[in-house]
Amino acid sequence: MDKNNRSFGNLLFPLILIAAGIVFLLQNLGLLAGDVWDMFFRLWPILIILLGFNDLFRNRGIVGPTISIGFGSVFLLSNLGILNWGAWMTIMRLWPILIIAIGLEIFIGRKNIWLSTIGVGFTLFLLVAGLWYTGGVLGVDSVVKTPAGMQVTSERIEQDLDDAKSAYVNIESSVGELVIDSLSDDDIFIEGDIYSVEQETITESYKLSGDKITYYLESEWYSGSNINFSDINNKERLSWEISLTEEIPLFLDLSLSVGESDLDLSNLQISEFNLDMGVGQTTITLPNGQYQAQIDGGVGQTIVHLPDEGEIELNVDGGVGEVRIYIPEDMPAKIYVDRGLAGLDVPTLYNKDGDIYTSSNFSETKDHIILYISQGIGNISIRQE
């Protein structure tokens, strides 16, 4: 190991300390607005990027630096809003880049720092090109493209409401876009269109017991199916477009493995709501009422619009990504926050007590929202609307 490589490794930790000291100094002098710790939570991926460069210069590897610099950069750009969180759907498809990196490391070896740098640069270029081509950049909607050579088919679903007074609804979509809204027709329980291909099996089950409906709509892909992510015409995408009745209370249990969801539940009667997300972006508009809701996210962005009336307890358990909650300005709310490496943005008018944030008009004896948010990596944003 030469002198320059040792110098870079020895300087990494002091550079981090110097940068942190400068930030705190500017904050104390009033030259830097905002919460410094929240800024650190937002910018923490820079540390992973620096560790990747340190690994490159000290060990002259390609695989390790590619993973550290690549993932650190994606986390950082997602936190800053430059990449949408749907980019993570694409990254899952770009795993062969690691095989390329391994091959380059074996071919080049660890003898020449310049060749190693070129190898890392090439693999990162492939990552950037893949994200750009498949629509991971902010402002481009990532949808699921039909596998090459396959034809999208449309399947219509429709079930009558009969004399039901309540319903349990379980919808499990594996890959694609899930759109749910309300249905004003008082004779129809559910209707919609499913766009799929021959590799996907759709299973529907409807049962009326007494005055309660139990309904299942599920999807399963054959192993070995090849799915691509791209910005394409709506007619070619894999999607479920479903409308549910407004006439009866619904226990809604939803699951989406990979894809995007737009769930406008604002006109539905919800008795309980569960959503399990894998990878993707989800926008949810919850209705008025008195109920509990649970949202479990994997990797991606979750946006929730809360109502201005009702008694609602919402638990959001995020993994990696962004959780953005919109609360009506006059709606009383209490927020419990549990976060790992996640930034936090809460309206300044909320009273803070440790990790609990309470609106000045909060009271559990009238309309209110109790919100539990847990986020591992990413960002939490509470906004008023």
Give the model's pLDDT for residue 114.
79
Q: 208 to each of 219, 269, 359, how far by Cα in Å? A: 22, 19, 43
Domain extents in the chain:
3-133, 153-384
CB-based contact 123:138 (threshold 8 Å):
no
What's the one-letter identity of residue 349?
L
The beta strands (E) that lie in the chain are given as: 143-145, 153-160, 166-183, 188-196, 200-209, 212-221, 228-230, 239-245, 249-264, 269-285, 290-296, 299-305, 311-327, 333-345, 351-353, 356-358, 368-384
Torsion of CA 141, 147, 153, 154, to 10 degrees: -20
pLDDT in tens, the chain (385 residues): 444 444 444 556 666 666 667 666 665 666 555 555 556 656 767 777 877 887 777 777 788 788 888 877 877 776 666 665 555 656 666 767 778 878 877 777 667 777 788 888 888 888 777 776 655 554 444 444 444 445 677 889 999 999 999 999 999 987 778 899 999 888 999 999 998 877 778 899 999 999 999 999 998 765 444 444 343 333 456 789 999 999 999 999 999 877 778 999 999 999 999 999 877 778 999 999 999 999 997 777 789 999 999 999 999 998 777 888 999 989 999 999 998 777 788 988 899 999 999 998 898 778 999 999 998 877 888 999 8
Give the model's pLDDT for residue 127.
78
CATH fit for domain 153-384, picks 2.30.30, 2.160.20, 1.10.390, 3.40.190? 2.160.20
Burial 141-171 (b: 16+ CB within 10 A, else e): ebbbbbeeeeebeeeeeebebeebeebbbbb
Backbone angles phi, psi at 61, to 5 degrees: -85, 175
**DSSP 8-state symbol, 234:** G
Tell me how far apart the alpha carbons of residues 118 and 125 are, in angstroms, rounded to a whole number.
10
Q: Is 233 exposed, middle or buried (0-12, 13-18, 19+ CB in 10 A)?
A: exposed
